[in-house]
Structure 1
Amino acid sequence: MEWQILESQRYLEIMQRLQVGTIVGKVLDFRENQDPGKTPLHDYGLLKDAKKVLERLEKAIFTQEKVVVYGDYDCDGIMATSILVSAFERRHLKVGFHIPNRFVDGYGLSVARVRQMHEKGYTLIITVDNGISAFEACEEAKRLGMDVIITDHHEIGSKLPEAYAILHTGLSPDYPFKGISGGFLACKLGCALIGSQDAYFHCLAAISTISDVMPMVDENRTLVKCALSVMQEKRYLNFELLLGENQRYSTTSIGFTLVPKINSIGRLVDGLNPSKCVTYFRHAIAHDAKEREFKMQFASLATKINQSRQKLTTSQYALATTNMNTDEDVLFCYDKDFHEGLIGLVAGKLTKTYYRPSFVMHLDEEKGILKGSARSIAGINLYDLLKKNKDDLLVYGGHELAGGFSLELAKLNDFETHVKAYIDDIRTPDLFVEKSHAILLEDRDISLENVRGLEALQPFGQGNEEPTFAMRLSHPIKIETLSDKKHLKLTFELSHARLSCLWFNHGEVYNQISQQQHFELFGQISINQFRNFENIQLILQDLR
């Protein structure tokens, strides 16, 4: 890790202008948007086709038409589906819904599912979190006399499907912010359909925003900040059961505790039908004892499935590192034993560990087909890489840092060669050097009041990252290990507070630093509460 330490020169002026503390002033000195205030939620009516969609849905409600909502198997798609199903229910129209099976249906609306829905008598399909590339499915629906309304947020290609209407921020020149999730887009439509803003819909949309790692800026930040406050106050049963007791609602607890349990159901479909997720989330509360019992059983099973997913991911990662040369500039591995639903997680872990682009593939031996997931690093645009090598691939998709693809096993060597050639063409001397920035803090900056001021910048996420700080401190009053020498802890007595520095899973460096007196520390600062006692802690990322 290579650190660039940033020293603020303008924090005093920012403090006076915005009436903030020194830590917030120093953070804002390095951010384009220096006003931590709220952006209002943008109006549904600014979306292209907004009026056309609502009029079509009002007609469907009036005539009690057979409508089906077609979602996706990830958390964003499940939240989006739950919102629209609930909105129609409030308008007294019971609609069908389908969450595709990752291994049977694949991603997105398919011709086979369109035909099946037609046979069941559906005349209107609404896609959520998918559809912008469903060309053949939309053509088939049109041939069968069915209307398709697409609501999606994924990248738009060179042409559009022949749908009745499309809601997409990228097609809406009047819509001021483009980076919203499928769930947030469905929330806007759902609120327009019921004629009012809805706190529970906002909570589901916020979860989808966190799960899809959408930019935590503009209206996304407003949505998530308000929704977390609502969740903390309302304590909805659906979220309480999945988070566990006494959890504080935050982007961290949602992103690392609740979201993985929902995503694991789509990854390991053996244990629970993903469509049950919609049944679980569409009602904010349990209306009777039977529904409450269902919710409790669902949450318990989701927790068990996620535990299985965690164990399986660990073993799959071990398999991946056994089968690859981790010294290469690009990491490739494939195996018939890789689980199709986990290859993305394994690729992500490889890239995080080795700071290299990684391609992990499941081999279907019978068909001779590899289905892969890839993750990348800053400076290597994965979508552009896949697009430029599309002749090697059967299908591909994704964005700058993550993507999916499939190819014939016979084409793998060519694909590897072309990927390496692409990277050679864009190579720079520091391409594979992981770089991070840290804002320098002084001893006198550290106080409960100053650290608490960082709450004004929350929620953190992409585009509004939690700041990393650097501190140069000397003479710790204590250096120790915790949890049977697994973790390292340093304690410093500062001018206005005591600072605890925790370095998880680095207890092994204790002997190296136990006699060291001067330290350069890098990490994220927060207030830890335990038994009504508050103390300031720095969660370390590095130490020198």
Structure 2
Amino acid sequence: MSRSVEKRWIIRHPDYASRDAIVRELGISPFVAAILVNRGIKDPDEVSRFLSPRLAHLHEPFLMKDMEKAVDRLQKAVLNRERTVIYGDYDVDGIVSSLVVRDFLRLAGLECDIYIPDRLTEGYDLSPAAVERLAEEGYSLLVTVDCGVRASEAAERAARLGMTMIVTDHHEVGDELPPAAAVVDPMRPDCGYPFKRLAGVGVAYKLVWALARRLAGGERLPDLFRDFLLDYLSVVALGTVCDVVPLLGENRVFVHYGLRRLASFRNVGMRSLLEESGVLRRLMQGQQGITARDLAFLVGPRINAAGRLGEAETGLELFSTTDASAARRIAARLGELNTRRQKLESEILQQARDLVAAGGEPPPAIVLASPDWHQGVLGIVASRLVNEFYRPTFLGCVEGDTVRGSARSIEGFDIVASLTRCSDLLERYGGHAGAAGFSLKADRLEEFAERLREDAAASFSRNPKLLEPAVFVESELPFDAIDDGLLAEMDKLAPFGHEHPKPLFFAGNVEVVGEPRLVGAGNRHLVMHLKRDGRTFRAIAFNQGEKVRELRRFMNVLFTPRLESYNGMTGIQLEIHGLRAGG
């Protein structure tokens, strides 16, 4: 049985002067203006850019440190038809990053290949062993995407073997940069690029955009290059959403335009994947367009499942084939792998829950490992444990004398910084503040676990509020303010995602009218009608069926209003995210 950590409800109070200025100048709802101000978007001009993203809002790619060097070297490779290999990661971001760079280089006349490491046998990032294999196969230029910024040993090996290396990455850098011809990463401390939070595919896209301009001799691109850059916004959107980077700044522009182009992207693999995941069927039925949520929960997990289970090449094969029947077969295989991934995840999650429960109160950091766990799904399981126990979580798979694992964190606790403080025990590690991978020798696991728990305990001792999870609410929203006009304005805030979630509103002492009903498989969902301010709305609380026992006549609710089709009619429905007894 899963548990959930009770979260504080914190109603934001925006800068009312900024909110009112936006309302006056742009004529938008004060509730939508409050959302924007709460998210740091206060200037009316900035609001206009946010509500109406344009490709012209993308930054100049040559502002990125080492971009000139990378493009110089790639131009030389194109002119000399040099043997080139793209080295990517095995997740969605890594695969589509590889695709963007390979396909553009081929369009420019350079035949090149992609190498995706096996997650289970090679692990994350570029390894010296992989460099040696690629050098033996005759490659003279290696371009990393979505990895490589911490691969100093591999870069040194490449240099000794006479192989030139270009690193493109978006992860946090280590103490020193790898010795490469160019290291293109907006997270470099010495990189003045205006937007730091790109996904790997965003960096890869900037690379080929810069190269297109160099090959064209200026900013005006031939139709061939221009059409490529527009078409491939679709895969940039896919990688950006699935890598869970903030859907703000340039990422918002990429996803806004990429979602529009996905259904028409001229790639039979993408179309087959949209069909297999059910997204295309919904589009053909005339329902809403493709959303960021579709990519995050329907499309992306199928590609990630292949990488997690040691078949990353299957995802790459899908996007590389030009045969429609082969694409359908591969997409079906990805669906099967995703089902298997879900089963493995469920089994490991329950085992991990039992281990945590056996220790009584959860420790400052959850550190668990087992030889029976599949390393490919540990990141997902760690995320689920963080949600349930609200502790930084490190899960490992013991393989002989090595432990390979994944870590996920809570808000405010930098998991890479914690791993860095234990780096003397680690073989490899890397990632972001909230998610990371690591490996170490099995005989160091016990000391590693103890050090992590001590490190987390020290952090929480300094700042106890880190262990007090909260859900932030945009504002109170009276029911008589909810109408089609408000929902139309809220639609302009999309796409929603990481650090830009769908808005949550609060309403207090809402009356529950009529008889609540449980619906869905296993009575998982709760349907009711809620009344306040003279208005009554149908409401649904997904996966909260057990809350029916807690219902009183008057409740406090957290909700998001949305348009919903029900019994052949379209109307406003409230999606309930929190229920507590009213006063």
Q: Taking structure 2 as the reference length, what is the TM-score of the superposition?
A: 0.86
Residue in structure 1 matched with residue 328 of structure 2 by the alignment: 296
1:394-448 deviations in Å (ceiling 9; x for gaps): 3332322222223333333333332232233222443322111212111222112
Contact residue 198 and residue 240 of structure 2 kept, 8 A: yes
Contact residue 207 and residue 254 of structure 1 kept, 8 A: yes
Residue in structure 1 matched with residue 499 of structure 2 by the alignment: 463
- In structure 1, how many angstroms separate the alpha carbons of the residues matched to 2:440 and 2:160? 31
1:188-244 deviations in Å (ceiling 9; x for gaps): 222333444422221111111111111211111111111112225668643342232
Residue in structure 2 matched with residue 482 of structure 1 by the alignment: 519
Residue in structure 1 matched with residue 449 of structure 2 by the alignment: 416
Q: Say yes or no: does 1:327 pair with 2:361.
A: yes
Alignment of 1:144-159 (within 5 A): 144-159=161-176
Residue in structure 2 matched with residue 27 of structure 1 by the alignment: 35
Distance change (3 Å), C-alpha of 1:76 and 1:495: same
How far the C-alpha of 1:249 sits from its partner, in A, is: 0.9
Residue in structure 1 matched with residue 316 of structure 2 by the alignment: 278
Contact residue 511 and residue 532 of structure 2 kept, 8 A: no
Alignment of 1:249-268 (within 5 A): 249-268=290-309
- In structure 2, how many angstroms separate the alpha carbons of the residues matched to 1:90 and 1:532? 48
Q: Secondary structure at the match of 1:214?
A: coil
Residue in structure 2 matched with residue 199 of structure 1 by the alignment: 230
- In structure 1, how many angstroms separate the alpha carbons of the residues matched to 2:82 and 2:37? 55
- In structure 2, how many angstroms separate the alpha carbons of the residues matched to 1:163 and 1:371? 27
Distance change (3 Å), C-alpha of 1:317 and 1:123: same
Contact residue 135 and residue 161 of structure 2 kept, 8 A: yes
Contact residue 86 and residue 102 of structure 2 kept, 8 A: yes
- In structure 2, how many angstroms separate the alpha carbons of the residues matched to 1:145 and 1:68? 14
Q: Secondary structure at the match of 1:539?
A: strand
- In structure 2, how many angstroms separate the alpha carbons of the residues matched to 1:92 and 1:429? 58
- In structure 2, how many angstroms separate the alpha carbons of the residues matched to 1:477 and 1:235? 50
Q: Secondary structure at the match of 2:578?
A: strand
Q: Say yes or no: does 1:189 pair with 2:207.
A: yes
Alignment of 1:396-411 (within 5 A): 396-411=429-444
One-letter amino acid matched to 1:510:
V
- In structure 2, how many angstroms separate the alpha carbons of the residues matched to 1:370 and 1:140? 24
Residue in structure 1 matched with residue 530 of structure 2 by the alignment: 492
Distance change (3 Å), C-alpha of 1:226 and 1:326: farther
How far the C-alpha of 1:282 sits from its partner, in A, is: 4.7
One-letter amino acid matched to 1:68:
V
Distance change (3 Å), C-alpha of 1:148 and 1:235: closer
- In structure 1, how many angstroms separate the alpha carbons of the residues matched to 2:10 and 2:65? 43
Task: Select 2:571's aligned residue among 519, 524, 535.
Answer: 535
Contact residue 85 and residue 282 of structure 1 kept, 8 A: no
One-letter amino acid matched to 2:396:
M
Contact residue 529 and residue 536 of structure 2 kept, 8 A: yes
Q: Which runs of 5+ in 2 are unaligned?
A: 1-6, 213-220, 284-288
One-letter amino acid matched to 2:530:
F
Contact residue 528 and residue 534 of structure 1 kept, 8 A: yes
- In structure 2, how many angstroms separate the alpha carbons of the residues matched to 1:345 and 1:436? 21
Contact residue 4 and residue 437 of structure 1 kept, 8 A: yes
Q: Secondary structure at the match of 2:465?
A: coil
How far the C-alpha of 1:496 sits from its partner, in A, is: 8.4
Task: Select 2:423's aligned residue among 379, 390, 404.
Answer: 390
Q: Secondary structure at the match of 1:521?
A: strand
Distance change (3 Å), C-alpha of 1:53 and 1:372: closer
- In structure 1, how many angstroms separate the alpha carbons of the residues matched to 2:263 and 2:513? 37
Q: Identify the range of structure 1 (152-161 vs 231-240) with the bigger mean alpha-carbon deviation.
A: 231-240
Contact residue 242 and residue 257 of structure 1 kept, 8 A: no
Distance change (3 Å), C-alpha of 1:331 and 1:141: closer
- In structure 1, how many angstroms separate the alpha carbons of the residues matched to 2:20 and 2:169? 44
Contact residue 250 and residue 459 of structure 1 kept, 8 A: yes
How far the C-alpha of 1:461 sits from its partner, in A, is: 2.1
How far the C-alpha of 1:487 sits from its partner, in A, is: 1.5
Distance change (3 Å), C-alpha of 1:106 and 1:413: closer
Alignment of 1:38-77 (within 5 A): 38=53, 40-77=57-94
Distance change (3 Å), C-alpha of 1:137 and 1:417: closer
Distance change (3 Å), C-alpha of 1:293 and 1:233: closer
Distance change (3 Å), C-alpha of 1:476 and 1:12: farther
Bigger proportion of residues as helix: 2
Residue in structure 2 matched with residue 349 of structure 1 by the alignment: 384
Q: Secondary structure at the match of 2:376?
A: coil
Q: Identify the range of structure 1 (464-473 vs 302-311) with the bigger mean alpha-carbon deviation.
A: 464-473
Q: Secondary structure at the match of 1:246?
A: helix
Q: Identify the range of structure 1 (3-12 vs 242-251) with the bigger mean alpha-carbon deviation.
A: 3-12
Q: Identify the range of structure 1 (484-493 vs 456-465) with the bigger mean alpha-carbon deviation.
A: 484-493
Distance change (3 Å), C-alpha of 1:358 and 1:296: same
Residue in structure 2 matched with residue 4 of structure 1 by the alignment: 10
Contact residue 498 and residue 535 of structure 1 kept, 8 A: no
Contact residue 491 and residue 501 of structure 1 kept, 8 A: yes
Residue in structure 2 matched with residue 307 of structure 1 by the alignment: 339
Contact residue 386 and residue 408 of structure 2 kept, 8 A: yes
Q: Say yes or no: does 1:134 pair with 2:151.
A: yes
Alignment of 1:216-235 (within 5 A): 216-232=247-263
- In structure 2, how many angstroms separate the alpha carbons of the residues matched to 1:508 and 1:442? 27
How far the C-alpha of 1:13 sits from its partner, in A, is: 4.6
How far the C-alpha of 1:357 sits from its partner, in A, is: 1.7
Distance change (3 Å), C-alpha of 1:5 and 1:304: same
- In structure 1, how many angstroms separate the alpha carbons of the residues matched to 2:206 and 2:264? 23
- In structure 1, how many angstroms separate the alpha carbons of the residues matched to 2:488 and 2:146? 37
Contact residue 7 and residue 440 of structure 1 kept, 8 A: no
Q: Secondary structure at the match of 2:175?
A: coil
Residue in structure 2 matched with residue 110 of structure 1 by the alignment: 127
Q: Secondary structure at the match of 2:466?
A: coil
Q: Which runs of 5+ in 1 are unaligned?
A: none
Alignment of 1:239-250 (within 5 A): 239-243=270-274, 244=278, 245-247=281-283, 248-250=289-291
Residue in structure 2 matched with residue 339 of structure 1 by the alignment: 374
- In structure 2, how many angstroms separate the alpha carbons of the residues matched to 1:420 and 1:409? 17
How far the C-alpha of 1:343 sits from its partner, in A, is: 1.3
Q: Identify the range of structure 1 (206-215 vs 188-197) with the bigger mean alpha-carbon deviation.
A: 188-197
Residue in structure 1 matched with residue 196 of structure 2 by the alignment: 178
- In structure 2, how many angstroms separate the alpha carbons of the residues matched to 1:409 and 1:280? 36
Q: Identify the range of structure 1 (258-267 vs 240-249) with the bigger mean alpha-carbon deviation.
A: 240-249
- In structure 1, how many angstroms separate the alpha carbons of the residues matched to 2:557 and 2:337? 38
- In structure 2, how many angstroms separate the alpha carbons of the residues matched to 1:510 and 1:451? 28
Q: Secondary structure at the match of 1:259?
A: helix
1:317-375 deviations in Å (ceiling 9; x for gaps): 112122233622332322110111111111111111111222212122x32x3222221
Contact residue 251 and residue 459 of structure 1 kept, 8 A: yes
Q: Identify the range of structure 1 (256-265 vs 322-331) with the bigger mean alpha-carbon deviation.
A: 322-331
How far the C-alpha of 1:306 sits from its partner, in A, is: 0.4
Residue in structure 1 matched with residue 465 of structure 2 by the alignment: 430
Contact residue 268 and residue 305 of structure 1 kept, 8 A: yes
- In structure 2, how many angstroms separate the alpha carbons of the residues matched to 1:234 and 1:103? 32
